[in-house]
Amino acid sequence: MFSPQPMKHVLLQVMTEDLPQVSLILAELQVFGPDYRPFHDSQYRSIPGQRFRELYHRAVSRLQKISGHVRIGSQVALNELHVVREDELEETDRWLGETWDRCSTFEENLRHQSEEQQLLDQLEQALGNFGELNIDLGLLQGERMFLDIRLGMIPRTHVGQLKEAIALANYLLFPYLEHDEMVHVIVVGPKGERERELGSVLDTAGFRPLTIPVELQGEPSRVRIELQKRRLALKQASNREREIARQFASEIRERLEECQRTLVMAEPFVRLDTAVRTGGYTSVISGWIPARDVRRTERALVAGLSNPLHIEVRNPLPEERPLVPSYMPDNRLMAPFATLVKQYGIPRYGEVDPTAIFAVTFILMFGMMFGDVGHGLTIALAAWLARRKLKSFTLFTICIGFSAALFGIFYGSLFGYEGLFHALWLPPLSDPLYMLSVALMWGIGFLLLISFVSIYNRFIQGDLTRAIFASNGVVSTLLYASLLYGIYNLYREGSFGVPAASVSILALAVVLAYKLTETQASAGERMLVAVVETFETITGYISNTLSFLRVAAFSLNHVALAIAVFTLADMMNSTQGQVLMVILGNLFILILEGAIVTIQALRLEYYEGFSRFYSGDGREFKPLRLNLGGTP
Amino acid sequence: MPSPAPHTYLKTRAALLAKQLFSPERLQQLLESSLDTLYQEFGMESLAVLPGAESAINRAVERALMHTLMQELGVLLRPLAGEGRDILMHWARKFELYNLKALIRGKLQGHSFADVEQNLFDLPALISLPHDQLLRTENVLELLRQLEQGHYADIARQARQVYEEKNESFSLDAAIDRSYYLGLLRRIRRIGEADRSALHSLVGTLIDQQNLGWLLRYRFNYGLAPSETYYLLVPFGHHLHRDRLLDLVNLETFPQVIEALPGRLSEPLAGVGDLLDLEWRLERITAAQAHHDVRFSASAVTRSLAYLVLREMDLKHLYAILQGKVLGFTEQTIRSALGGTPVKAELRDNGAVDV
């Protein structure tokens, strides 16, 4: 329950021609995680399937891009499994390439049409603006004898510098209309040898010339009609393009799904990657298998292959431990908790898997902070009703709901009403100091448990020095315990006590000495770092312990919020108003406080818990499998 | 007003990091060291036994050095928040833009996926483009469509113009660089007064270095007209402001431009013969400003940025030395590639530079 599954390292020796078949069998079994480390046997040097991998990756990329245009099933149904050979993959890739070319052309055409659409919008706007310009518009178009006049648009950010730049070529720039990121400008200058120079600067500045409709100087209404005609033609062209794309999509959908199936079956061999080495007729595949599945894998391979094979199985070597993948349980109850644990990191192989500790402590802390029968049952009911959306988190939400309801029974609270039934323990606000001491004791217990787990993990990793001397090791836990004992003495008897003081000082000296030896720096810096880190160890324990006071604080806060809601309800004149206030207030508590309590409980788990014992830098066991969840 | 605690911490960190910057003597010593010694000294022992071609080793060296720089950037970013953090991150985006240029140029010239990928820096996710997605585009238009949908839409527009009309990629490079420096300046304008002026003079020096190199190259190597040259510059330098640049682009010869520079630049650049020499000298001027800022600037962000600028220069030098040694060049050849015997440039009290 607390440790990942024991793993075995396996080395499969098979005939090279059987490699695709082996990968398919392993993917069906879902128990083989490839080991990608370099393989030091001179007989097996080369990595097979380079071309196959290239084809696969290109084909997948193409399929993903095409599926942006052509909707294909999110679940792949494999009626029959077969080994995908290189020529089949090559044909799939070629067809996908041709298909993507077509889709890409559609994209580019639509892009041009959208650009044309924007241009028409700009022209229409310009038309309105020209109407307000008190000039002869005939001057702005056609060839002039002495003047070079250009109309166009440039990005807003380029206006200032372009104006200065073209002034060097004796041209002037006048902005006359601003539109989103683009500015409409008129550029005027003398005709002559610098026209080409101007053209070059304008190109570099992203100048897009605007054609003024010839009719503009005549009747703006006719121009508008002209623009409307262009817009209509554009819309028709765009609809035609979309219709062609739609037809194309329906024509190719079936073949596309076939390609998807081919790629799903080709993927296991690709994923083996450097875990396979070949030496001609024979090849080796190295990887990790959960110990309980070794026999099953061997039987399936023997039954599925026509050629003989050889399997070498061994336990992980001590120096390999950081590389061994950790098998994370995937049972339904633990799955949501495992997801939250993975947000922090994966346990190293052999380390305590914190999922169970996390699940129990999180549920308890949430319940304690949010104890109310009504609120708890509402959460559980809402989770059940929204189970399709919450998926694996349904059970998690139901658990925390029931926990809140259980603590509600302890506190005697139903939708904030106290006294409707007898509290099994006590209502939080009746003795806040007692609640705070309970939270403190919970925090101390939690931190001690976490420190023991941390020590255990380091022992398991063979890191004895850190297990004893480092932060959260034996010595610093002793320091924490002696400080707690001393403070308890101080509270009860008025003095810290000689035994507690002696142990504290001794442990402190050992921690400081360890920090001094551990720090790599000049003498002065080493002293500074060691003193600061030792001090930080003590303050860390104190602040982390006090951090757990929030468990009680939120239970008090919950009651206080309910009182506030009832006070507001009492201020209402009508019964309907009071009922409405109570309902809305309870909803407010459920949503806002519920979210805050969840975050606070997570924070306590991650920051006060995981950061102490859990390196989270392990590797998750990811077995080869057939990816049936849609586009590879 | 920046809060004092993180800024004091940042200044201390920058000062500690600055101790590892190369002095001219240290650079000389590196030049004289053997390849194995260098690998050992910079924690690249694994490269000594790396099988494969020289290009693979050079690539591994480059990755290791980039990793070092990014780690140090991470250290400096940690205590920073807000605009200060944004400025340091934007500075690091230059490497992302190198990648962007390589990607666009690679696609314009029809290079393969593998060829382009080899020329990209490995960057942390914080500042990295979605390379894989861009690399897997199958032609230039597809790449441009991808870029048009993201953060670099304006650059994509420019690139489309280069592709469809002009096919001169240097204007695209200039557009990318301009957008980078203008972004940096925009962030500096938003930062608190305590940091602004110091940052402006450091970044202005960097811009001067770029502007002068571009100006001379565009005018006299590519033969661009004054107006086009001016358009491609960033008119917000430290010594080379808008008016000065407008004057300079109108000059007809390389020596005329050098003579017309303001005193603080013309003095250290006197007698410069070619663009390469000019770039080395400009780099020394920037180094002098940055060294001064690392030691004396009252702004912690400026000190950090100055450190990063210097560290990047050092790592480039180190890379050149390692690359030269991997390829079996003589010490003399490597020294010439570094711009001659290492010397230290000093910023005088009046702002002038001895190079």
**Which residue in A42, A111, A173, A201 has the most chain B C-beta atoms within 10 A of its own C-beta, making it the best mutation to test that interface?**
A201
How far apart (Å, rounded) are the C-alpha atoms in residues A366 and A337?
14
Amino acid identity of residue A616, one-letter, is: G
**Cα-based angle A479, A481, A483 (whole degrees, multiple of 5):** 65
B chain contacts of residue A166, beta-carbon cutoff 8 Å: 227
How far apart (Å, rounded) are the C-alpha atoms in residues A245 and A254?
15
**Which residue in A40, A93, A161 has the most chain B C-beta atoms within 10 A of its own C-beta, making it the best mutation to test that interface?**
A161
pLDDT for A362 equals 93
Q: How confident is the model at residue A540 (pLDDT cuts 50, 70, 90)?
A: confident
Distance from CA of B233 to the nearest CA of A (A): 9
pLDDT at A55 over 90: yes
CB pairs under 8 A between A and B: 70
**pLDDT single digits (tens) A435-463:** 999 999 999 999 999 899 889 888 887 88
- Indicate the SS3 state at residue A242: helix
* Lowest mean pLDDT, pick from A321-330, A535-544, B322-331: A321-330
pLDDT at A213 over 70: no
Contact between residue B163 and residue B144 where contact means Cβ atoms under 8 Å apart: yes
- B215 interfaces chain A, CB cutoff of 8 Å: no
Residue A240 CB-density burial (10 A; 0-12 exposed, 13-18 middle, 19+ buried): exposed
For A578-587, the CB contacts below 8 A with 24+ separation are A582/A415, A585/A416, A585/A561, A586/A374, A586/A375, A586/A415, A586/A416
Complex confidence, ipTM: 0.78
Contact between residue A370 and residue A24 where contact means Cβ atoms under 8 Å apart: no
How far apart (Å, rounded) are the C-alpha atoms in residues A271 and B302?
47
* Chain B residue with minimum CA distance to A60: B136
Which are the contacts of A357, defined by CB distance < 8 A and separation ≥ 6? A2, A449, A453, A609
Contact between residue A31 and residue A281 where contact means Cβ atoms under 8 Å apart: no
How far apart (Å, rounded) are the C-alpha atoms in residues B262 and B277?
19
Which one has a higher pLDDT value, A157 or A428?
A428
A chain contacts of residue B154, beta-carbon cutoff 8 Å: 155, 157
Going by the DSSP 8-state scheme, the letter that residue A75 receives in this structure is: S
How far apart (Å, rounded) are the C-alpha atoms in residues B222 and B303?
37
Q: Which structure tokens are listed for A167?
A: 């002034």
Mean pLDDT of A258-264: 92
A chain contacts of residue B235, beta-carbon cutoff 8 Å: 161, 164
Going by the DSSP 8-state scheme, the letter that residue A215 receives in this structure is: G
Residue B186 backbone dihedrals phi, psi, to 5 degrees: -60, -40
Overall CATH class of domain A113-234: alpha beta
pLDDT for A212 equals 66
Considering A400-414, A606-620, B165-179, the range whose residues carry the highest mean pLDDT is A400-414
pLDDT for A631 equals 55
pLDDT > 70: percent of chain A: 94
Tokens 């925390």 belong to residue: A400
Mean of per-residue pLDDT scores for chain A = 87
Q: How many CA atoms lie within 13 A of A314 on its CB side?
A: 8
User: Smallest Cβ distance to B231: which of A61, A62, A204?
Assistant: A204
Mean pLDDT of A29-57: 87
pLDDT at A134 over 60: no
Which one has a higher pLDDT value, A144 or A286?
A286
pLDDT for A313 equals 94
Q: How confident is the model at residue A89 (pLDDT cuts 50, 70, 90)?
A: very high
Mean pLDDT of A206-215: 70
Tokens 């077969």 belong to residue: A82
For chain B, which residues make up each domain, given as ranges?
1-79+300-343
pLDDT tens-digit profile, chain B (355 residues) = 455 566 788 888 888 888 889 888 888 888 888 888 888 888 777 666 655 567 777 778 888 888 889 888 988 888 888 888 999 999 998 888 888 888 888 887 878 777 777 778 777 766 666 777 787 788 878 888 888 887 777 777 777 776 776 656 677 788 788 888 988 999 999 988 888 999 999 999 999 999 999 999 999 988 888 998 999 898 888 899 899 999 999 999 999 999 999 878 888 888 887 888 888 889 989 999 999 999 889 899 999 999 999 999 999 999 999 888 888 888 888 888 777 665 666 666 555 555 5
Neighbours of B270 (CB within 10 A): 11
B chain contacts of residue A111, beta-carbon cutoff 8 Å: 145
Which one has a higher pLDDT value, A328 or A566?
A566
- Indicate the SS3 state at residue B109: coil
Mean pLDDT of A58-68: 90
Distances (CA, A) of A368 to A372, A383, A549, B314: 9, 19, 12, 57
How far apart (Å, rounded) are the C-alpha atoms in residues B309 and B344?
15
* Lowest mean pLDDT, pick from A349-358, A424-433, A458-467, B109-118: B109-118
Q: Which structure tokens are listed for A264?
A: 């799903």
For chain A, which residues make up each domain, given as ranges?
7-97+247-326, 113-234, 355-456+548-613, 463-547
SS percent in chain A: helix, strand, coil, step 5: 65, 10, 25
- Indicate the SS3 state at residue B291: helix
Contact between residue A542 and residue A476 where contact means Cβ atoms under 8 Å apart: no
Which one has a higher pLDDT value, B57 or A64?
A64
Q: Do A166 and B175 touch (CB under 8 A)?
A: no
End-to-end C-alpha distance for chain A, whole angstroms: 33
Considering A177-181, A201-205, A387-391, A598-602, the range whose residues carry the highest mean pLDDT is A598-602
pLDDT at A18 over 70: yes
Q: Nearest-CA neighbor of B30 among B346, B292, B316, B276? A: B316
Contact between residue B29 and residue B332 where contact means Cβ atoms under 8 Å apart: no
Q: Enumerate the β-bridge partners of residue A52.
A: none
With b for 16 or more beta-carbon neighbours within 10 A and e for fewer, the A125-136 pattern comes to ebbeebeeeeee
pLDDT for B355 equals 55
pLDDT for B1 equals 43
Distance from CA of B22 to the nearest CA of A (A): 20
